[in-house]
Structure 1
Amino acid sequence: MTRPDEKQHATVPLNLMLTLAALVVIVAGMRAGADLLVPVLLSLFIAVVCSAPIHALQRRGVHQRLAVWLTLVVLSVLVSLLAFLLVNSVGTFTDELPGIQKTLQEYYYSVLTHLSGMGLDIDADWVAGEMDIAKLVAWLPELLSQMGGLLVQSLLVSLLVVFLLFEMLNFPDKIAHALDNPAPSLRRFSQFNHTLKRYLAVKTLVSLATGALVWLACLLTGSEFPLLWAVLAFALNYIPNIGSAMAAVPPVLLMMVSPESGALKALILAGAYLVINVVMGNLVEPRIMGRALGLSTFVAFLSLVVWGWIFGTAGMLLSVVLTMTLKIALESHPQTIWLARLLGSREGLAPNGSG
């Protein structure tokens, strides 16, 4: 006769296989529906960020619906102004991109020739052929086109944000009426909502500050298209580990090959990028956000690979945000908090390791 504990152990591999199979189906579905899911996720995160000023207005006595409309109007004005300025910068940059690539390729070839002339065993023709500089910088126009695609979907995203903000006003009441014992669910939802809102607000503010400092650094060093590089730094700040480096490459290379600037100013700009990202990423953001909201370095990089594979460039931009959302959701339930601790960084653990 089979004992109960043996039967329980026998079901563990089956449950694991069913869980993995369900995960494969979910990931495949998300990848197939990426065109639909990306605007929905983007609008959801924007709605969560916008809920902070809405609640601040409510605390000052403003009616709920009026607070929503005031926030939407201010957000629409700011985004429209930024989009208008950015379109001009992107258009000018796109027109000049062939000339920039040609100048960069000539500079690159001259460096190889110079190194070959110094006695190094380098075949300049072979290296230049194997490492086509046009291919190396081809990711930037592709990234800009992906970001432009998100702007094209801005009407859909805007409508979703409007509906989500009004839906969020009544969501706790709906949970209270839908469940027999809503208190635990409401408590977990409130904890999840508060932590996610705080994380997204801090991350967005840090990214805005990073973009503003990059704009100032580009302006002071005389770099072309400072607004474009500021927006690029803001967007890529959401990508872990490599995002800041990717944001620095185009303006530094452009300044290096520019006749008016040269290598010295390019080095100064690269140093400014390094200082900004070290200060904002390693000092300011952890201090404001708290170590407990961090991800381990491996999980952050893995999330970049996984979400980038599922959703493309938009998934790379939202990788940490999506993984942090999953971590916060796991933390809000006692049965899954151990998974959240596995995703977290070492600094987020208690001194005794018990969390």
Structure 2
Amino acid sequence: MNLRNYFFYLATSVVIIAGLKVASEIVVLLFLSIFISSIISSLLKFLQKGKVPKIISYLIVLSIITIFSLLVYYIINISLKDFLGNLNSYEKGFNDLIVNTIGLVEQYGYTVDKDQILQTLNLSSFFGFTTNIIGNIGSFLSKFLLIIIGIAFILAESKSFETKLKMIFKSNAQKLKHFNLFSQNIQKYFLVKSTTSFLTGFIIAVVLMYFDVDYPILWGVIAMLFNFVPVVGSIIAAIPAVLLSLLNADINTTIILIILYMTINISISNIIEPKLMGKELGLSPLVIFFSLILWGWVLGIVGMFLAVPITMTLKIAFNSNSSTHWIAILMSDLSKNRKDKENNF
């Protein structure tokens, strides 16, 4: 491939990304419909293998996703309203906590500018940012009816789509094999990621209930959703609950809570998830970082949740074809493979 072709593909990519940004509201609904369909199609196949009639299988799957979506929306909506109602008391409580901490430091002979610290921390801005994120998620979930309709049509077309692919690739069995491999890996990734995200949110909600932190189910749902955002997602999801624990409990309990948050996220994301997902589906940390920036810019806050799934989809697509396999290698995290080879010697 000569240099002219590389520039052509680069220019094409720029035009496509610009188009996606302009049509981001529609694209987000389309991407989510496709991704969620790929997850629940496994459940659909399981039900049909169990001799459940096709129409009943569709109704069961759509009912599950509808009830789950409505439940998440209800929790976020109700909890957010209650949280906003108590926002002033939370801000006053944190300001008092900071003032008391400064007074304790000054007892040891240190001079601290109290006004400067309060202005720098600016808890009002932080809580505004937090409620804005949660509000965006709640607003987006309110449009989930369109996604459910999209899922219904995609699942209804899935069988005929397989027939169409066989007709398209009837003269090239290798391409059909590549597409099937691509589809299987995508389903495996989304199934594992969704399972580990739900597990993360459930465990964190139980932990927060035990420590009597306000809105434990809300922060559990946030932890589940932000588990799709690598690196920074778990940190962002932990901050509100940890700060609220300072008001509800002492510093020792808060430290224990921080340690538990880290343990849960590290155990699930770095131990359980890679074993279930397989090393071949790992992404380079550099690729993850820039994908967060790129898709966050293109698709907004939802793009940050979709950043890794979209990038993983591209990697699997590149990996499924021998001519683009080298791009998949560049996107991969080979550090774990190298460590495994070193341990074998």
Q: Which amino acid aligns with 1:184?
A: Q
Kindly indicate whether residue 150 of structure 2 is the aligned counterpart of residue 160 of structure 1. yes
Kindly indicate whether residue 222 of structure 2 is the aligned counterpart of residue 232 of structure 1. yes
* Maintained 8 Å contact 2:62/2:148: no
Partner of 1:127: 117
How many angstroms does 1:321 deviate by? Answer: 1.1
Map 1:205-284; keep pairs closer than 5 Å.
Answer: 205-258=195-248, 261-284=249-272
* Maintained 8 Å contact 1:48/1:197: yes
Going from structure 1 to structure 2, the CA distance change for 1:116 and 1:326 (only over 3 Å counts) comes to: farther
How many angstroms does 1:179 deviate by? Answer: 4.5
* Maintained 8 Å contact 2:24/2:299: yes
Partners of 2:9 and 2:183 in 1: how far apart? 26
1:62-88 deviation per Cα after TM superposition (whole angstroms, max 9, x unaligned):
333432222112222333334334432
1:241-268 deviation per Cα after TM superposition (whole angstroms, max 9, x unaligned):
111111111011011023xx22222222
1:28 alignment partner, one of 5, 14, 18: 18
Partner of 1:68: 58
Partners of 2:13 and 2:277 in 1: how far apart? 30
Partner of 2:44: 54
Partners of 1:333 and 1:206 in 2: how far apart? 29
Deviates more, 1:93-102 or 1:235-244: 93-102
Partners of 1:38 and 1:102 in 2: how far apart? 38
Partner of 2:288: 300
Partners of 1:215 and 1:93 in 2: how far apart? 16
Kindly indicate whether residue 302 of structure 2 is the aligned counterpart of residue 314 of structure 1. yes
* Maintained 8 Å contact 1:113/1:124: no
How many angstroms does 1:272 deviate by? Answer: 1.4
Partner of 1:345: 333
Uncovered stretches (5+) of structure 2, i.e. residues with no partner: none
How many angstroms does 1:33 deviate by? Answer: 1.1
Matched residues, number: 340
Map 1:9-158; keep pairs closer than 5 Å.
Answer: 11-12=2-3, 14-158=4-148
1:287-326 deviation per Cα after TM superposition (whole angstroms, max 9, x unaligned):
1111211111111122111111111110111111111111
* Maintained 8 Å contact 1:172/1:186: no
Partner of 2:319: 331
Partners of 2:292 and 2:270 in 1: how far apart? 19
* Maintained 8 Å contact 1:105/1:134: no
1:209-254 deviation per Cα after TM superposition (whole angstroms, max 9, x unaligned):
0001001100111111011000000011011111111111101101
Partner of 2:191: 201
* Maintained 8 Å contact 1:45/1:200: yes
* Maintained 8 Å contact 1:207/1:234: yes
Q: Which amino acid aligns with 1:24?
A: V
SS at match of 2:323: coil
Partners of 1:116 and 1:15 in 2: how far apart? 66
Going from structure 1 to structure 2, the CA distance change for 1:131 and 1:327 (only over 3 Å counts) comes to: same
TM-score, with normalisation over the residues of structure 2? 0.92
* Maintained 8 Å contact 1:116/1:123: no
* Maintained 8 Å contact 2:72/2:221: no
Deviates more, 1:137-146 or 1:100-109: 100-109
Going from structure 1 to structure 2, the CA distance change for 1:335 and 1:109 (only over 3 Å counts) comes to: farther
* Maintained 8 Å contact 1:176/1:182: no
Going from structure 1 to structure 2, the CA distance change for 1:280 and 1:294 (only over 3 Å counts) comes to: same
1:84-141 deviation per Cα after TM superposition (whole angstroms, max 9, x unaligned):
3443222211211232123223323443454355344542222322332212333211
TM-score, with normalisation over the residues of structure 1? 0.90
Over the matched positions of the two proteins, sequence identity in percent amounts to 29
Q: Which amino acid aligns with 1:60?
A: G
* Maintained 8 Å contact 2:80/2:131: no
Deviates more, 1:42-51 or 1:85-94: 85-94
Q: Which amino acid aligns with 1:217?
A: V
TM-align CA RMSD: 2.0
SS at match of 2:230: coil
1:183-207 deviation per Cα after TM superposition (whole angstroms, max 9, x unaligned):
2332122111111001100000000
Partners of 1:127 and 1:193 in 2: how far apart? 53
* Maintained 8 Å contact 2:102/2:112: yes
